[in-house]
């Protein structure tokens, strides 16, 4: 089980991992930051990129912030970060 810091940019043209930003993984998400749509889109995008089920990822902190903390049940933070940042 691992915790991963994210920096989210909503309303982007497409979903993509940009790299690192201040110790967090920076991600662009096409969904708007309205009514939790961006949060759900982030969790689905992360699950797809990591190859895990969506239910294995939980938003721990940052529900209304661009800075988020997620928990991944089946991977440690080092492995998750490596999978996300591999081009």
pLDDT in tens, the chain (87 residues): 889 999 999 999 999 999 999 999 999 999 999 999 999 999 999 999 999 999 999 999 999 999 999 999 999 999 999 999 986
Given a contact cutoff of 8 angstroms between Cβ atoms, the answer to whether 41 and 31 are in contact is yes
Q: Where are the domains of the chain?
A: 2-85
**Domain 2-85 indexed as CATH 3.90.1150.10:** no
């Amino acid at each position: 089980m691992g915790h991963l810091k994210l920096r989210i940019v909503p309303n982007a043209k497409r979903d993509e991992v940009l790299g690192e930003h201040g110790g967090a993984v920076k991600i662009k998400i096409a969904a708007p930051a309205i009514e939790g749509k961006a949060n759900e889109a982030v969790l689905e995008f992360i699950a797809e990129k990591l190859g895990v089920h969506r239910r294995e990822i939980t938003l721990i902190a940052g529900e209304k912030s661009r800075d988020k903390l997620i928990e991944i049940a089946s991977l440690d933070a080092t492995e998750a970060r490596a999978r996300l940042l591999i081009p």
